[in-house]
Amino acid sequence: MKTLFTILGIVAVVFQSIAQTNYTKPQLKTITTTNWVKPGPYLRVVNGVTYSIAYSKLWKKFSEQEGLGVSFLDPSDGGESCHFTGGIRQIKGTTVLYDISEEWWAHETYTGNLYMTRREYAKTVIVFNLENPLARGLDFMCIKIPNYVNENGVPCVAYDCGIQATNLVPVIKEEKIKIVSTNSVAGQ
């Protein structure tokens, strides 16, 4: 029992000395660090501007930009639906010309099956910097750019897929570090 009281007495003295010591929280300082990293595949450059196609609202799938595959009722014809489709007309390197057509569909009276009643050419659009157009289909990401005017003075709706960004990209990060005091006197 005497040993227990001795241990409790020592613990009390230790706690009292700790309580009497002036304890101060470590001082923290926020610093900003910049790391330069290689750009990922989602950073594309169009007309000298770097875009993140994952976050920019200007970038959409080509099919969404042109409204391809979205059916709507044709108000001029009774019961027909209409939608736009796209197909490649010409490929020159990474520049692709797409023909956009409008298709009308109707239901057969007896079976209810859909059949195409007509298809009409609507317009031609040009897409710049599109790699592997045959493998991509119509679901590639692009940005609308000002209309392209060909050598005959005919304007054409234009899109650009951009080129892969190659310049290093800054990644800025803030971190808190402990301030080490330099005011201490040697020997104390």
Per-residue burial over 121-133, b = 16 or more CB atoms within 10 Å of its CB, e = otherwise: eeeebbbbbbeeb
Output the pLDDT for position 139. Answer: 86
Cα 158 to Cα 71, 76, 110: the distances in Å are 23, 30, 43
Per-residue pLDDT, 79: 66
Mean of pLDDT values over 123-131: 94
Question: CA-based Rg of the chain, rounded to a whole angstrom?
Answer: 34
Distance CA 103, CA 91 (A): 24
Please provide residue 65's backbone torsions phi and psi, each rounded to the nearest 5 degrees: -60, -40
Q: Is the pLDDT of residue 20 over 70?
A: no
Per-domain residue ranges for the chain? Answer: 2-32+171-175, 39-168
**pLDDT greater at residue 93 or residue 13:** 93
Mean pLDDT of the chain: 80
The answer to whether the CB of 9 falls within 8 A of the CB of 17 is: no
Q: What is the pTM of this model?
A: 0.65
Q: What proportion of the chain, given as a percentage, has pLDDT over 70?
A: 76
Task: Give the three-state DSSP class for 9.
Answer: helix
Q: Read off the pLDDT of each residue in 64-72 and give the average, rounded to a whole number.
A: 81
